[in-house]
């Protein structure tokens, strides 16, 4: 087959068929297994959405009860891993912690890491335990006592309890539950694609999630939510938004939280998170970040015609809870692990090794010159990789 033209970043390349997530980038629509994200955010819970992503249908009351129970049982960490987390320097980057802890966990749970249907157990295990890994680390670095499993708490409430060391309010728990729903899956985004590439070699689920976490960490992907907050703190007040944005754009810098490879209109998740940012801010009597973000949206859209993506408002909600910014992307991972593992299971069910080709543009047919006959000055860099 004639190689097609290069599509940098695989933009608009259809790599596989999937039944998990549908995105209409022109209409700004997002469906999980056929259900509109707006309805799921309004009426569902993260546990129910995880079931939907893994099994392809909404659960019965009994099925949801069983899954919820199972996820709460799976929150516990093996003692040696808990001790290892406690031994880490407080300066450890939480995304590096997550990536390494998932790898280490596989060493304690080999039966869950075999490819194939047995990996639904690994999917549930990782979805249940990521909050514990984050909570244990954050408590240790804050000098607070270890985490209790708290089986009575929902996934969202437990995640908040794990990182805040206090009972979340009902509003906080619901706001985070909605954020977890919104971040749970997004078709072949970079981290999900990384997970599928790993699974497509028949490697195990824990390796696939490790690949995904390393990919999500990047500021052009999941790392953007933390950088949005850094930008807001640099701007400081609404009357400085215009000046700072224009300076950055003049330097051809990206404004984090804006633009998207697929959405050419507003990301429907940003629409929902904007409402929650205002709601939680108003409840806290603190609309500082919300007002900055509204002005930021106005300026970036006027100057670059760009729309907000999921990362623009999420941090403003987490900051109001008192969650430190370096845990924002890990919160993204604690949700997206449900989507990553759903895609890994789908890959195992319909396996095809993912291996694109490259258009070779380097030199060909170079004559090998023995080292003693090579000139001291090898010529311009690029002909061969410089030493
Ligand atoms: C996520 O794929 C997913 O689904 C991801 C995600 C998910 O749920 O998994 O939705 C989560 O990763 C959201 C995106 C978070 N990242 C950011 O907010 C970082 C800032 N955004 C940009 O880096 C950018 O918009 C991307 C990476 C998200 C998308 O970039 P593309 O599709 O590669 O677009 P591009 O780089 O080709 O840009 C097209 C033009 C360029 O202008 P010109 O150089 O041609 O004049 O738009 C400009 C870009 O400079 N542009 C921006 C911009 N995003 C694009 N200019 C300033 N600020 C931006 N944010």
Indicate which CATH number applies to the domain containing 335.
1.10.580.10
What are the helix and strand counts (H, E) for the chain?
Answer: 16, 3
Does residue 18 sit within a domain? Answer: no
pLDDT of residue 378: 75
pLDDT of residue 373: 95
Instruction: Please indicate, yes or no, whether residues 170 and 203 belong to a single structural domain of this protein.
Output: yes
Ligand 1 neighbour 75 (Cβ under 6 A) = no
24 is a catalytic site residue: no
pLDDT of residue 13: 95
**100: its two tokens:** 């390494």
Q: How remote is the CA of residue 262 from the centroid of ligand 1, in Å?
A: 9
Nearest atom in ligand 1 to the alpha carbon of residue 9 is: 33
The model's pLDDT over 38-69, given as tens digits with 9 standing for 90+, comes to: 999 999 999 999 999 999 999 999 999 999 99
What is the DSSP-derived secondary structure letter of residue 169?
P
Q: Can you tell me the distance from the alpha carbon of 2 to that of 359, in angstroms, rounded to the nearest whole number?
A: 11
Helix, strand, or coil here: 261?
coil
**306: its two tokens:** 């760009």
Instruction: Please indicate, yes or no, whether residues 104 and 206 belong to a single structural domain of this protein.
Output: yes
Q: Quick count: other Cβ atoms within 10 Å of Cβ 359? A: 8
Ligand 1 neighbour 301 (Cβ under 6 A) = no
Instruction: Please indicate, yes or no, whether residues 266 and 310 belong to a single structural domain of this protein.
Output: yes
Instruction: Please indicate, yes or no, whether residues 79 and 50 belong to a single structural domain of this protein.
Output: yes
Question: Whole domain around residue 50: which residue ranges?
Answer: 33-218+330-349
pLDDT of residue 387: 47
In this structure, are residues 307 and 261 in contact, taking their beta carbons and an 8 Å threshold? no
Q: Can you tell me the distance from the alpha carbon of 146 to that of 56, in angstroms, rounded to the nearest whole number?
A: 36
pLDDT of residue 217: 96
Does residue 372 sit within a domain? Answer: no
**Stated pTM of the model:** 0.95
Q: Quick count: other Cβ atoms within 10 Å of Cβ 234? A: 10
pLDDT of residue 359: 95
Q: How remote is the CA of residue 263 from the centroid of ligand 1, in Å?
A: 10
Ligand 1 neighbour 310 (Cβ under 6 A) = yes
Instruction: Please indicate, yes or no, whether residues 212 and 267 belong to a single structural domain of this protein.
Output: no
When divided into structural domains, the chain yields a total of 2
* DSSP symbols for 7-47: -GGGTT------SSEEEETTTTEEEETTEEHHHHHHH--HH
Q: Can you tell me the distance from the alpha carbon of 289 to that of 237, in angstroms, rounded to the nearest whole number?
A: 9
Going by alpha carbons, the residue nearest to atom 3 of ligand 1 is: 189
**152: its two tokens:** 């009575």
**163: its two tokens:** 């990182």
Cβ neighbours of residue 7 under 8 Å, at least 6 residues apart? Answer: 13
Instruction: Please indicate, yes or no, whether residues 195 and 245 belong to a single structural domain of this protein.
Output: no
Instruction: Please indicate, yes or no, whether residues 195 and 228 belong to a single structural domain of this protein.
Output: no
Ligand 1 neighbour 259 (Cβ under 6 A) = yes
- The catalytic position among 260, 301, 326, 377 is 260
Segments of the chain scoring below 50 in pLDDT: 386-387
Going by alpha carbons, the residue nearest to atom 13 of ligand 1 is: 221
pLDDT of residue 108: 87
Ligand 1 neighbour 225 (Cβ under 6 A) = no
What is the DSSP-derived secondary structure letter of residue 147?
P
Ligand 1 neighbour 309 (Cβ under 6 A) = yes
377 is a catalytic site residue: no
Find residue 36's DSSP bridge partners. Answer: 31
Q: How remote is the CA of residue 261 from the centroid of ligand 1, in Å?
A: 6
Instruction: Please indicate, yes or no, whether residues 128 and 247 belong to a single structural domain of this protein.
Output: no
Q: Can you tell me the distance from the alpha carbon of 337 to that of 352, in angstroms, rounded to the nearest whole number?
A: 22
Does residue 325 sit within a domain? Answer: no
């Amino acid at each position: 087959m004639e190689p097609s033209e290069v599509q940098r970043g695989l933009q608009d390349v259809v790599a596989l068929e999937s039944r998990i997530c549908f995105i209409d980038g022109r209409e700004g629509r997002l469906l999980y297994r056929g259900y509109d994200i707006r309805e799921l955010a309004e009426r569902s819970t993260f546990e129910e959405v995880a079931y939907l992503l893994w099994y392809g249908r909404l659960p019965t009351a009994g099925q949801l009860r069983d899954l919820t129970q199972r996820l709460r049982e799976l929150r516990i960490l093996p003692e040696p891993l808990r001790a290892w987390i406690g031994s880490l320097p407080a300066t450890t980057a939480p995304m590096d912690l997550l990536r390494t802890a998932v790898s280490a966990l596989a060493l304690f749970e080999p039966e869950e890491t075999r490819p194939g249907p047995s990996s639904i157990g690994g999917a549930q295990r990782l979805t249940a335990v990521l909050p514990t890994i984050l909570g244990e680390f954050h408590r240790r670095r804050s000098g607070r006592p270890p985490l209790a499993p708290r089986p009575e708490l929902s996934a969202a409430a437990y995640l908040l309890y794990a990182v805040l060391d206090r009972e979340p309010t009902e509003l906080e728990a619901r706001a985070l539950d909605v954020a977890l729903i919104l971040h749970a899956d997004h078709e072949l985004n970079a981290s999900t694609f990384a997970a599928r590439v790993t699974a497509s070699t028949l490697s195990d689920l824990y390796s696939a999630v490790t690949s995904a976490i390393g990919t999500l960490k990047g500021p052009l992907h999941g790392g953007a939510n933390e950088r949005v907050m850094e930008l807001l703190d640099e701007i400081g007040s609404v009357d400085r938004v215009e000046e700072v944005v224009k300076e950055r754009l003049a330097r051809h810098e990206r404004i984090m939280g804006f633009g998207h490879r697929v959405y050419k209109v507003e990301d429907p998740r940003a629409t929902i998170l904007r409402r929650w940012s205002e709601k939680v801010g108003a409840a806290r009597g603190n609309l500082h970040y919300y007002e900055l973000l509204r002005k930021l949206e106005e300026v970036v859209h006027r100057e670059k015609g760009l729309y907000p993506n999921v990362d623009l408002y999420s941090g403003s909600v987490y900051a109001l809870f008192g969650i430190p910014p370096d845990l924002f992307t890990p919160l993204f991972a604690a949700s997206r692990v449900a989507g990553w593992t759903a895609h890994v299971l789908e890959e195992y069910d319909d396996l095809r090794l993912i291996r694109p080709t490259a258009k070779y543009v380097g030199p060909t047919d170079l004559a090998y010159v023995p080292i003693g006959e090579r000139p001291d000055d090898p010529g311009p860099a690029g002909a061969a990789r410089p030493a």
